[in-house]
Structure 1
């Protein structure tokens, strides 16, 4: 316990109780007085019981260094040594506590690396782990739930959010623009499956390692004017939705406007197509003059 008046300040430990008014004590635990020079305490002196290790109290001062402030503390035994006093909370002047070196007024709670501090100059600062069922920052801001899911926007729930990242690492965006590099070795994009080193979907495979595009039919367009390559070695040119020219297995063919094949077909021969008459296809050994 601590006994103090306007002049003296002594720490004692009660080692025995003979009666309600008679105690056996060990005096001057802090070693502040010479032998046999301990104060004579009189009626009216203040006595504070610090009790045993792990207990604590409230300390309020308007005269100590960096006053005024109120502190909540506990101790690890021998509370006359400041090294054994643990301040857990301070309200008032924060100078000298949790890294404060200036006279700033506010509230500070915690330890050197885990704390909550507020003062008008620095605002609210938090360090260490935060445990909560849901954390919401701003009405249309940032949200985290107890399952580790993260989302942004006005939705109060992860399920209703349009921009979100699940605790399993699944990212969902309803729309957006991206810059930079996006790398993935698995997943899907618009029905296309990603599996390094290929992207595949609907029978089409893009293989970056082989430098190939594989598919049943590859079209340059979905419109009526297009070129098609099929896996039966056929290359076909369409105009107005009708096959006009095709190449397959050494055969070159031309179709009339109705889609019927013109005769003759040229197979395994060189051809000479005259610009003056596109209705005739002749072997190179033949000739025809233009008029």
Structure 2
């Protein structure tokens, strides 16, 4: 089942079939999980959908980079690149580095799959194979509706997410099924104005993005995903994040027209850059 939020008609020329899709995997302290994530692309029907698989390590203090290199070499797909941010930019900052890379290298879409192995890339392959993604500016994985599957997710976090989805839906005026999962796809042409550059560099980045999609009247497709928590280590402090999340919604409700130009970062970064450790393994 798919859920869509649409605000304007689709033009025929927007359904051109010359896709170049970047699979972006943000990773931080994922040495145990990153091989499992990369192995999701071993299926030819999966890796055949992507032109490059980009692992962006956010200066992990563990062996995430080496684990990614070892797995990529063993897989031998010829399209896995491993890079390391020049400094710890946060999850949002890693998105910004990957978005910039996708724009500058001519990718039509960039898919995000978190490196902690909570999501499954196969949840989006049906959308890609049928070409439905060409009709939308973003396709967002949704964890919290009857079509999704959750494993190991606490009742507190599940309930809290449902409440926040409801609050953001009311505040934005559009039905939102998830505020930011670890499996999303973006049309690169919709990112080219760099409107996202001033958004938070931390975990709040996705909350800014979902409200930006609404404010920009973008076409959104929500699709159900499977989500699990096994050996992942969460960096989220639930109650402090809940308060900050509400603060973002309040800023949007208070000043929708100024939301996209607001500077959310405490310390603005001029350029989100990474060094390439290995390319096209």
TM-score by length of 1: 0.14
Which structure carries more strand by proportion?
Answer: 1
Larger RCO, structures 1/2 (Cα 8 Å, 6+ apart): 2
TM-score, scaled to structure 2: 0.15
Larger Rg belongs to: 1
Q: Which has the higher helix share?
A: 2
